[in-house]
Amino acid sequence: MSIQTTDQIADLLTRIRNNILVGKNEIYVPTSKLKVAVVDCLKQAGYLFDYEILDHSPRNTLHVTLAEAGKAPAIHEIAKVSKPGRRVYVTSAEIPKVKSGRGLVLVSTPKGLMTGQQAVKAHLGGEVLVKVW
């Protein structure tokens, strides 16, 4: 029996947050295109070490490595901004800066998921999904 979550990104972020708190470096979550896009953006920004998609039936699994062996994860806090009950949409001029530019915000734009800096350069707005620092 599998438990169905309504907000898959919030579930992913909670699993990351909980594993960091207990000192684990790896998580396994059911995969989706949006989860892979979020994890890919976090890896490119240096917040995650690596990820891979494992083929399992009936559903693929996403294996995420939070940090290199023996090192602390780069994520201090991770939070969902736009929620199912309250969506947050911004223009390219309104994209928030996290911790005076030391953090990262992920924005779902018409051209796909990208960081806030990439969205500003491309003059694209969209839904603010995640804040990380």
Domains and CATH numbers, the chain: 8-65 (3.30.1370.30), 78-132 (3.30.1490.10)
- pLDDT above 70: residue 1: no
Confidence tier at 59 by pLDDT (50, 70, 90): confident
DSSP the chain: --PPPS-HHHHHHHHHHHHHHHT--EEEEE--HHHHHHHHHHHHTTS-SEEEEE--SSS-EEEEE-S-TTS--S-S-EEE-SBTTB--EE-GGGPPPSGGGTSEEEEEETTEEEEHHHHHHTT--EEEEEEE-
pLDDT in tens, 104-122: 999 999 999 999 999 999 9
User: N- to C-terminal Cα distance for the chain?
Assistant: 35
pLDDT in tens, 7-52: 999 999 999 999 999 999 999 999 999 999 999 999 999 999 999 9
Is the model's pTM score more than 0.85? yes
Give the position of tokens 């995969």: 31
